[in-house]
Amino acid sequence: MFDHVIFAEASKDYKLEQIQRDISSWLRLIWRKRGQAKEIRDFLENKIFLLLLDNLWKHVELSYLGIPHLTQNRTTKQKVVFTTRLEGVCGKMQAWRMMKVGCLNADATWLLFQEKVGKDALEAHATIPQLAQRVAKECDGLPLALVVIGAAMSTKKTTSEWQNALTLLQKSRLYEIQGMGDKILPQLKFSYNHLPNEIFRRCFLLCSLWPSISKTELIEC
């Protein structure tokens, strides 16, 4: 359907140069410190392409990235699809069509959680599946939370470990969550608490204080 499919992540503190680098990499263009937007625009002008722009927190001027001016009645198929948590961004980006993506339903939540936990842990004790369902419910259908918590619990094979995990998640929610956008915080805290040891936790906190360290690289570590 497309000559080129391009993926780039904007993130909360994105830089236009980094997105341009990502686009250039997908298109296999030589990186130039100056005039890169023109290089990209000249390359894409008459191409059929799809740009997937993930995690927008504010307006991105597509022309600054080198994306040709898009119109709905253009004969050449050129599309930009972006994701955002903020409906106002859709307005500023002049989105032609909006699609709201909700959280997973109860059945899909449980299926994904089971997949990430694995049979070994779920079958280790007769009461674990029931506790696991309650833990999964605490994730509120958020895929990231289900993946993170599920992976963390894949080695937990005692009822006390599962009960403790459930208690931690419930306690975190009571005083930390203040809105839909913050529902992931207890799950992230849970994941942090389950780092291998105190050295890992201190290292993580130390690295997070230094703005020169790439957030993406830190998360991968």
User: Could you read off the pLDDT of 182-193 as tens digits, one per residue?
Assistant: 555 666 777 787
User: Could you read off the pLDDT of 114-146 as tens digits, one per residue?
Assistant: 999 999 999 999 999 999 999 999 888 888 888
The string of DSSP letters for 76-110 reads S-EEEEEEES-HHHHHHTT-S---------HHHHH
Strand order in the sheet with 78-84: 4-9, 49-56, 78-84
Enter the DSSP assignment of 142: -
C-beta of residue 158 within 8 angstroms of C-beta of residue 166? no
Backbone angles phi, psi at 118, to 5 degrees: 90, 155
Query: The tokens of 193 are what?
Result: 């608490």
Structure confidence at residue 200 (pLDDT):
87
pLDDT band at 104 (very low <50, low <70, confident <90, very high): very high
> CB within 8 A of 20, min separation 6: which ones?
36, 37, 40, 65, 66
What pTM value is reported for the model? 0.58
Domain borders along the chain are: 4-92, 106-220
